[in-house]
Amino acid sequence: MDLSFLAYDTLTAAQALLGKYIYTEQDGAVTGGYITEVEAYLGEHDKAAHAYQLRRTKKNEMMYRDFGTIYVYTMHGHHCMNFITKDTAHPEGVLIRGIEPVTGIDTMIKRRGRENHLTDGPGKLTQSLGIKREHYNGTRLNDDGVCIREGRTPRVITASKRIGIDNKEEAVDYLYRFTVKGNPHVSKDKVVVEENNGWQ
DNA sequence: GTCAGGATTACCT
DNA sequence: GGTAATCCTGACT
C-alpha cells in the first residue's frame, strides 16, 4: 500500500494507522492483526519523546530516518515498535500499542506462553509477532519484515493521555494516544466492548 | 566500571 | 489500586 500518509502530520498519521492490518512472517508462520491503539511522539518539542530537543543517541538514531522506517527499542526486557513519520529533520513517530489478533493466533500463544492478552500492550504485540530489536530496528515497512495493508475502519476514535510518562510535566496531558472506541484489545483501559469491536 | 532510570508486564491485595 | 521483576542504555568517574 501507499505509505505517503506517514510523511505528513504525525497526529494525523497516528489516527490513520488505526485499523490497518499489520503482519509478519517467520519460518512460514504468519502472525497479524488490526491496529487498535497507537501513541504519537512529536520529537523536538515533546518532553515525553526520545528525541526531545533533538536528543540523538545510538538507541534513537533510527528516529532520524525517513518515514516508513521501523524503530524498535527495548525496555525492561521488552521490545516496543514505532513507525517513523515525516523526514530526517523531524524525529517523530507512532508507537504501536495494541492490535486485534487475526492471523496465526496459535503461533502467538506459543510465543507468549499464555492464551489471552496476546497483543494488548506494546511489549506483548511485538512478542506475539516475533519482533525483536536486533532483527527489525532500522528496517522499513513493507520491505520484507513488518508489513501493513488496508484493514478495517474504526467507527469512533478516542483520544486520551499517553501511558507510562507520568514525570514528563506538561507532556503528560497531551491527548496523543488514539484507540478504537469499544475495542477490547488495548492496554490498561477497562473497555465497554461495542458491536463489531468498534469497527464499521 | 558504576549507577540511575525507563514509551513494560505480571501478579498481588 | 500498588509493586517487584528485570535488563538495556546513557552518562559519568
- Looking at residue A11, what is its pLDDT? 98
Q: Which whole-number Å values give the CA distances from A79 to A16, A57, A121, A133, in the listed order?
A: 23, 18, 11, 6
**Dihedral over Cα of A153, A180, A16, A121: its sign:** negative
- Under DSSP, the state recorded for A175 is -
The C-alpha cell that represents A143 in the structure block:
520491505
Q: pTM here?
A: 0.96
- Evaluate whether A146 touches A139 at the Cβ level (below 8 Å): yes
Single-letter amino acid, residue A38:
V
- DSSP-derived pairing of the beta strands A29-41 and A70-75: unpaired
Percent of chain A whose pLDDT exceeds 70: 100
What is the CA A186 to chain-centroid distance, rounded? 11
Q: What is the pLDDT of residues A78-109, one digit of tens each?
A: 999 999 999 999 999 999 999 999 999 999 99
Q: What is the pLDDT of residues A165-197, one digit of tens each?
A: 988 889 999 999 999 999 999 998 889 999 999
Q: Which whole-number Å values give the CA distances from A100 to A18, A65, A105, in the listed order?
A: 11, 28, 10
- Looking at residue A42, what is its pLDDT? 97
Residue A3, helix vs strand vs coil: coil
- Looking at residue A33, what is its pLDDT? 98
Single-letter amino acid, residue A7:
A
- Looking at residue A85, what is its pLDDT? 98
Q: What is the pLDDT of residues A135-166, one digit of tens each?
A: 999 999 999 899 999 999 999 999 999 999 98
The model's confidence at residue A45, banded by pLDDT at 50, 70 and 90, is very high
Q: Name the average pLDDT for chain A.
A: 96
Cα–Cα nearest to A22, from A85, A100, A79: A100
Q: Strand C neighbours with CB under 7 A?
A: A 55, 57-60, 73-77, 133
Q: In chain C, which nucleotides are within 7 Å of a protein Cβ?
A: 5-11
- Looking at residue A80, what is its pLDDT? 97
- Evaluate whether A126 touches A80 at the Cβ level (below 8 Å): yes
Check whether residue A46 has its CB closer than 7 Å to nucleic acid strand B.
Answer: no
